[in-house]
Amino acid sequence: MLRPAAEPSWTNEVPQAMRRRDPRIWRMAHVAVSRCLASTGERPGSIFAATAFGALEETRAFLEGIFTSGFGSAKSFIASVHNSMAGKLAVDFSIAGPNLTFCDGPNSLASAIGGTDLLDECDFPMLIVAIDEKIELLRTLTPHLSPECRPLLGDAWEEAAAAFMISRKEDAAAVKVQATGPRFIGDIPAEDTIKSLAAEMVPGIGNSPELRTDASTPSGAGLLLHEFITSGANGRRIIATHSPAGRACAVIDVWL
């Protein structure tokens, strides 16, 4: 886990060449993956990235070049392509299996966890990196968004990068995780869809304290999942997310 706001010296963990060359969000992801691999001691066979918005600063820089001079930076364009980060991490850490990016707003992490069903046994253990950065331009854009989307990009969320190692091995002492959704909500209130998804996954969960509905920010699900895994607590959590732009909800079930 990396929380840049709480760790001003985090860039010291980034290789010097990468500090000069790579976009900031790639550097954040590199640190989170390095910490995860160091703590688990395992080598992943595949990697998924989960991001609500991708490399926002590089996207801004590319578009600014287009509008000001008619030419965008090739370097910024490469980084702005969401799956480039998963591919770069695969190269940096010699991960030979599939590398995919899931981008569905706050539902991205749930989509990535559900996407592990697409993998073969040889692709495990695998890494999931949940990452989003916060840039100053969001303050300018937020007031112009719809009332539904405005809270998603407001000030009340923290940029972060969290990396998780996923295995299919049977281990009673290991934290278990599964996900379902996203599910299109149509005209149904998001809260009702979340409760329905949670009840399908864990019958009887209802409105119990185990159902967390405060994760619908770009990095919220990753922060809550990491919090549960590192707390060492027994029990269960249902982490619910809602993407107002996609009008869809998803839930992550994690237990020990």
User: What local confidence, expressed as pLDDT, does residue 208 receive?
Assistant: 60
The stretch 212-230 carries a mean pLDDT of 87
Question: Which DSSP symbol is given to 119?
Answer: S
* CA 195 from centre of chain: 22
Q: Is residue 91 within 8 Å of 22, Cβ to Cβ?
A: no
Residue 194's pLDDT band (boundaries 50, 70, 90)? confident
Residues of the chain with CATH 3.40.47.10: 4-166
> What is the residue whose two structure tokens read 């010296």?
9
Position 186 confidence tier, pLDDT thresholds 50, 70, 90: confident
pLDDT above 70 coverage of the chain, percent: 98
Q: What's the whole-number mean pLDDT along residues 18-29?
A: 92
pLDDT, position 207: 58
Pairing of strands 176-184, 99-102: unpaired
Question: Could you tell me what percent of the chain has a pLDDT over 90?
Answer: 59
**Peptide bond connecting 4 to the previous residue in cis, omega within 30 degrees of 0:** no
Q: Domain 4-166 has what CATH class?
A: alpha beta
Predicted TM-score (pTM) of the model is 0.92
> Helix 24-40 and helix 56-69: axis angle, to 10°?
160
Q: Which residues pair with 243 in a beta bridge?
A: 248
Residue 151 — pLDDT band, cuts 50, 70, 90?
A: confident
Residue 77 and residue 55: Cα distance in Å, rounded? 10
pLDDT at 99: 95
161 band by pLDDT with thresholds 50, 70 and 90: very high
Per-residue pLDDT tens digits for 61-107: 999 999 999 888 888 989 888 889 999 999 999 999 999 999 989 99
pLDDT of residue 123: 97
Mean pLDDT of the chain: 90
Query: So what's the pLDDT on residue 57?
Result: 93
How does pLDDT run across 102-149, given as a tens digit for each residue? 998 999 999 999 999 999 999 999 999 999 999 988 888 888 888 878
Q: Can you tell me the distance from the alpha carbon of 95 to that of 81, in angstroms, rounded to the nearest whole number?
A: 19
Tokens of 99: 């590398």
Per-residue pLDDT for 223 more than 80?
yes
Q: What share of the chain is helix, strand, coil (3-state, %, to 5)?
A: 45, 20, 35
